[in-house]
Structure 1
Amino acid sequence: MNKSLIAATLAAVFPFAALAQSNVAIYGVVDAGLVRETGGPAGNVTNLSSGMASGSRIGFKGKEDLGGGLAATFLLENGFNADTGAAGQGGLLFGRQVFVGLQGGFGAVTLGRQYTPYYKALRDVGDPFGAVSLAGRAGNLMATNTRTDNLVEYVTPSLAGFTADVAYGAGETAGNSAKNRTLNGALAYAQGPLNVQLAYHRLDNAAATDRTRNTLLAASYNFGPVTAQGGVAVNRGAGTASSRDMVLGVTVPLHTGKLLASHVRHDDRTIAGKDASQWGIGYNYPLSKRTDIYSAYARIHNHKGSGFTVGNATDKGSGDTAFDLGLRHTF
């Protein structure tokens, strides 16, 4: 079924949206492959998994010109598992993202379930595996704060290379407006080969002192054939949740594909001293503009029973070592 036919079908089912169908885009990712995991407490396992490089998804996005430089936007993105057909994100209909907003010369305001500024800084700037979240991803050891519900986000226009991204996630708890709320923000500078972002994420819980705070400084520099990336994070939380984390890596063109390599460290600043480190290497080879194959290998060294596992874009993994080999198609 082609995109035009799908759009026509949606217009027939939802006639109230028919006027805006001309600027609605349908897109998606189907990603599946083999994962070999070793070092887990239950033993070694080989899986046919979905969404190792990118979570499998289907999405709808649109933009309507309101005049005077103002436009309305929306995005609906459903996640699914290509290996079983089951819904992703715990069965949510649009568990990946869903938001509506306005954009213009002032910037952009969006409301809904969205990626946090902190996650985007780590994914887009600090982590070489961020766009292809294979076994070597920094998120195996570092906080990612991927999505937040009830999020109101504002992104400024670029001024001399600087942009700001601020967001507030309502906790929606009766009698306690602070409980489960999130405060997020990122200040970015991108000019030429340099990209730097300072990001912050805070989650408040029941008490004023019961909160988790993550601060990340991420940077990348394109030297031409090689792009170097890295990030340093300071994490503070209630009780024992405090650490210093670091990721360093490179992206290197190799033949017509890309070689990825990174090293990640988790320095536990509590009395338990449950440190961990990870080495990862991967390769992404395009078969066309929309189809690629990929492979990756990563190993975590856990200390004092820290228990981190090697995961990917969709799965947290079960062991301290993993090998990924898969195929991804985008449309």
Structure 2
Amino acid sequence: MKKSLLALAVSGAFAVSAHAQSSVTLYGLIDTGIVYTNNQTGHSAWQMATSSTQNTVFGLKGSEDLGGGLHAVFKLEQGFNLNNGTQAFSGDGFGSQAWVGLQSDPYGTVTFGRQFDVVNDLLGPLSAESNTWGGNIAAHPFENDNLAADSVVVNNTVKYVSPTIAGITGEAMYSFSNAAGGFANNRVYGFSVGYSQGPVNLAAGYLQFNNPGGGVLGTNPNGAIAVKDGSANFIAERQRIWGAGGNYTFGPATVGLVWSHTQIDNMASVISLGTGNYMPLGGTLRLDNFEVNAKYALTPALTLSAAYTYTDGAYSDGATNATPGWNTVMLQTDYSLSKRTDVYLEGVYQNVHGAPAGSVLGDAMINTLSPSSTSTQVAVTVGIRHAF
């Protein structure tokens, strides 16, 4: 009897120890508000919106200590639309993120599943469009460089993240097409590197999509970049993204510069995130985004931020050549009610010029909204965010 009690006590102690070395956390973020737009498809609009700045999500994340500096890690995250309860990625149970992997303290982390890309991971946080002080509504035209918080999420991804050494972190990824006989048909690969020491943050990276959304022929629409759930921004033969940026913090102020270059070859269509519809657009499109951003903490609770992006474009479909340009301006003020709840007022202005007549490129289209019927669009949103 005593031996049995001793064995039970020992096994209980091991169970408590194992439990203490593992963790599972339920978390989430809710972002909702009212948006006024001066022109959406020819009409002004007052709308209740969700995820204007940050993605509205809930999820589970966890870690298990395997010993020797090795951990099993996972994340399951679902995005949703607060105003009507629908899925942000239609038909996906965990469309925002779904991955599992191994983390080694000395050697880095390898993860497998549906994940954000490596350029979004390291360069995104240096852009206003990836942060609470700007966010999704402040994205570059057509969200062409995947830097916003609502960016493309990539299927079938193997990602490696290095440990941080002397402030330097590197990432690399490969996303399989999962198509029999079509290894390169709708695949993704890329790499990035970041540096963070004291007030200085720098990052750069490269990303390539082959036949995103199945490409012009649509032969593998749900490979690495899926069509059915709205993950794709462009349907094309190839999309390549280069980018670099940095910011510097001094006292309550942070200023930053970001450049990104997007090259889209042999397009079939571009997607309007606001409407979810595909708009036919053939040819090739090159976009260079030049962003300057700044934020300033007036008090620990009150922050002002601004960003200006000039997007220089070049378009050709053989018969038509054009050099469209976009001016996008964002202003925001944010007030923290607590560590987990804040309210914000944000305005975004976009104007496009030089686009081909009658082309979707000629209509201003602020991210998350339906396109304007003219070359100019203005949106103002007042919202509340709560993290848990």
Alignment check: 8 A CA contact 2:123 2:204 kept: no
Matched residues in 1 for 2:381 and 2:173: separation?
Answer: 34
Q: What are structure 2's unaligned runs of at least 5 residues?
A: 1-17, 217-235, 266-282, 316-320, 356-360
Task: Write the mapping of 1:1-331 to structure 2, written as runs, cut at 5 A.
Answer: 23-104=23-104, 105-125=106-126, 127-132=127-132, 133=135, 135-138=137-140, 142-144=144-146, 146-205=152-211, 210-238=237-265, 239-255=283-299, 256-270=301-315, 271-305=321-355, 306=361, 307-311=363-367, 315-319=368-372, 320-331=377-388
Alignment check: 8 A CA contact 2:171 2:193 kept: yes
Note closer, same or farther for the CA distance 1:268–1:197 as it changes in structure 2 (3 Å cut): same
Matched positions, count: 309
Note closer, same or farther for the CA distance 1:44–1:163 as it changes in structure 2 (3 Å cut): same
Alignment check: 8 A CA contact 2:22 2:63 kept: no
Bigger Rg over Cα: 2
Alignment check: 8 A CA contact 1:141 1:308 kept: no
Please tell me the residue identity of whatever aligns with 1:154.
Y
Alignment check: 8 A CA contact 1:154 1:166 kept: yes
Alignment check: 8 A CA contact 1:141 1:264 kept: no
Query: TM-score w.r.t. structure 1 length?
Result: 0.88
C-alpha deviation, 1:192, in angstroms: 1.3
Matched residues in 2 for 1:262 and 1:192: separation?
Answer: 23
C-alpha deviation, 1:21, in angstroms: 10
Matched residues in 1 for 2:122 and 2:192: separation?
Answer: 7
Please tell me the residue identity of whatever aligns with 1:269.
A
C-alpha deviation, 1:142, in angstroms: 4.1
Q: Counterpart in 2 of 1:3?
A: none
Q: Counterpart in 2 of 1:15?
A: none
Note closer, same or farther for the CA distance 1:304–1:204 as it changes in structure 2 (3 Å cut): same
Note closer, same or farther for the CA distance 1:273–1:20 as it changes in structure 2 (3 Å cut): farther
Alignment check: 8 A CA contact 1:213 1:236 kept: yes
Matched residues in 2 for 1:21 and 1:157: separation?
Answer: 21
The 4+ residue runs of structure 1 with deviation greater than 3 A are 18-22, 137-142, 316-319
Q: What are structure 1's unaligned runs of at least 5 residues?
A: 1-17
Higher RCO structure (Cα 8 Å, ≥6 apart): 1
Alignment check: 8 A CA contact 1:117 1:184 kept: yes
C-alpha deviation, 1:213, in angstroms: 0.8
